[in-house]
Amino acid sequence: MIFRREKAAARARPSRNALELSHVTYRFGDYTAVNDLSLVIEAGECFGLLGPNGAGKTTTIRLLNTLLPLQDGDVGIFGYDVRTQAMSVRRLLGYVPQQLSIEGALTARENVSWFARLYDVPRSERRGRVNEVLEMVDLADVADRVASSFSGGMVRRLELAQALVNRPSLLVLDEPTVGLDPVARDSVWTRVTEMQKQYGMTVLLTTHYMEEAEALCDRIALMHRGELRAVGSPAGLVAALGPDATLDDVFRHYTGDSLTADEKGGLRDVRSARRTARRLG
Ligand SMILES: Nc1ncnc2c1ncn2[C@@H]1O[C@H](COP(=O)(O)OP(=O)(O)OP(=O)(O)O)[C@@H](O)[C@H]1O
């Protein structure tokens, strides 16, 4: 029933663009975290938001997924106004936050079922949908194990399953692979790519990893101090800088900072990994 309603809403979507940000500014007190940001993401794109710590990426994401109230500017998700049509917006979104969003004491299946109930997936469809997404992220075999026994990569894949259970049109991933080892990171990338192909979803992700942006994203936007500095395809941005440039050079050029996994992963990842371990207990 709800899915039918979702499909009807999808048909009635007022815009083909997945996301339209227009002159968005957000201040925490006197501090401007996002400054006059305008951006369009087309339906079906995988789009990466890059920038150093504090650039305003998470704030931007929280504005578009209705977790923060808009102060200035407009945001449309498939043409729905975030300010006045928040429920329609939420129905179209899947969100994997930076912070842990699973409960360690529950099994993988219970974690996803809980999200299915939160998202109002009809009771008759719930079991099938939960199995489907667990399969998709390769956790079907361990569906009845408690999440506290999972590795970091498995936890991230479980969070993906939670975000997918309402079949979102726009999947938003805030640093999906931070703190994961290269093998686990690779397996998350593979799942994201497969899901995007299979369902034609639009994906918006923030990342600190240049190779992640290059491997996954059709286009990227570079943010610095709340402002948009450049938008384009990874190859296009690199080519514009010169024949020997790398994506890291692009980052340095637009943000005056360099960004490698090792430099930026450090303390943040350790903190995040420790937080995860504590919560999973
Ligand atoms: N609740 C808050 N109160 C005050 N300042 C905040 C708050 N949340 C974020 N900020 C500030 O806003 C700026 C942008 O933060 P944001 O989390 O959006 O950056 P980011 O690009 O996502 O960085 P990171 O990669 O570290 O997550 C930072 O300087 C941050 O300290």
Helix (H, G, I), strand (E, B) or coil at 43: coil
Q: What span, in angstroms and rounded, lies between the C-alpha atoms of 249 and 255?
A: 10
Q: What is the mean predicted confidence (pLDDT) over 131-151?
A: 93
**Residue closest by Cα to atom 3 of ligand 1:** 28
Instruction: Express each pLDDT in 184-203 by its tens digit.
Output: 888 888 888 888 888 789 99
Alpha carbon distances (Å) from 159 to 20, 27, 40, 177, 279 = 26, 29, 26, 11, 15
Residue of higher predicted confidence among 265 and 179 = 179
Instruction: Express each pLDDT in 19-47 by its tens digit.
Output: 999 999 999 999 999 999 999 999 999 99
CA–chain centroid gap for 217, Å, is 12
Residue type, 176: P
Q: How far is the CA of 113 from the centre of ligand 1 (A)?
A: 31
Q: How far is the CA of 63 from the centre of ligand 1 (A)?
A: 12
Q: What pLDDT is attached to residue 185?
A: 83
Q: What's the ipTM?
A: 0.96
The pair phi, psi for residue 74, each rounded to 5°, is -130, 150
Any residues with Cβ below 6 Å from ligand 1, and which? 28, 31, 33, 51, 53-59
Superfamily of domain 2-280: P-loop containing nucleotide triphosphate hydrolases (3.40.50.300)
Instruction: Express each pLDDT in 205-223 by its tens digit.
Output: 998 788 888 888 999 999 9
Q: Is the separation of the CB atoms in 218 and 233 below 8 Å?
A: yes
* Residue in 25, 37, 59, 205 to alter for ligand 1 test, most ligand atoms within 8 A of Cβ: 59
Q: What span, in angstroms and rounded, lies between the C-alpha atoms of 160 and 95?
A: 8
Q: How far is the CA of 56 from the centre of ligand 1 (A)?
A: 6
Q: Is the pLDDT score of 267 beyond 60?
A: no
Residue type, 226: G
Q: How far is the CA of 59 from the centre of ligand 1 (A)?
A: 6
Residue type, 108: A
The domain limits of the chain are: 2-280
Q: Is the pLDDT score of 259 beyond 70?
A: no
Q: Is the pLDDT score of 132 beyond 80?
A: yes
Query: What does pTM read for this prediction?
Result: 0.84
The number of residues in the chain equals: 281
Q: How far is the CA of 30 from the centre of ligand 1 (A)?
A: 13
By C-alpha distance, which of 166, 193, 189, 167 is closest to 176? 189
* Residue in 26, 27, 31, 206 to alter for ligand 1 test, most ligand atoms within 8 A of Cβ: 31
Q: Is the pLDDT score of 280 beyond 70?
A: no
**Residue closest by Cα to atom 26 of ligand 1:** 53
Q: What span, in angstroms and rounded, lies between the C-alpha atoms of 161 and 256?
A: 37
How does DSSP classify residue 45?
Answer: -
Q: Is the separation of the CB atoms in 37 and 188 below 8 Å?
A: no
